[in-house]
Amino acid sequence: MSGADALDRELDAWAAAGRVAEAWWRDDDATAPSPALARLLAARRAAGVPIAIAVVPARARPELAALLAREEGVVAWQHGWDHMNHAPIGAAKAEIGPHRPAAYVLGELARGMLAMDRVFGARGWMRALVPPHNRIAPAVAAALPRAGYAGLSAGLEPRPRGATRVVNAHVDIMDWGTRAFVGEVPARDALAAAFAARREGRCDPAEPVGFLTHHLAHDEAAWRFVEAILPRLAAHRAVRFRHPETLFG
Contact 71, 53 (CB under 8 A): no
Q: What is the dihedral of CA 130, 212, 171, 236, to 10 degrees?
A: 130
What pLDDT does 249 receive? 78
Find the farthest-apart pair of alpha carbons in the chain and give their distance in angstroms, rounded.
53
Fold of 6-246: TIM Barrel (3.20.20)
Calculate the CA 174 to chain-centre distance: 13
pTM over 0.85: yes
CA dist 105 and 107 (Å) reads 5
- Alpha helices for the chain (secondary structure H): 6-16, 35-47, 62-69, 102-120, 138-143, 184-199, 220-235
Q: Which amino acid is at 55?
A: V
Q: Which amino acid is at 99?
A: H
CA dist 115 and 239 (Å) reads 36
Which of helix, strand or coil describes residue 221? Answer: helix
User: In tens digits, what is the pLDDT along the chain, a chain of 249 residues?
Assistant: 444 599 999 999 999 999 999 999 999 999 999 999 999 999 999 999 999 999 999 999 999 999 999 999 999 999 999 999 888 998 889 899 999 999 999 999 999 999 999 999 999 999 999 999 999 999 999 999 999 999 999 989 999 998 999 999 999 999 999 999 999 999 999 999 999 999 999 999 999 999 999 999 999 999 999 999 999 999 999 999 999 999 997
Task: Name 128's Cβ contacts closer than 8 Å, sequence gap at least 6.
Answer: 52, 77, 78, 149, 150, 151, 152, 153, 244, 247, 248
Give backbone dihedrals phi and psi of 4, rounded to 5 degrees, phi first: -80, 145
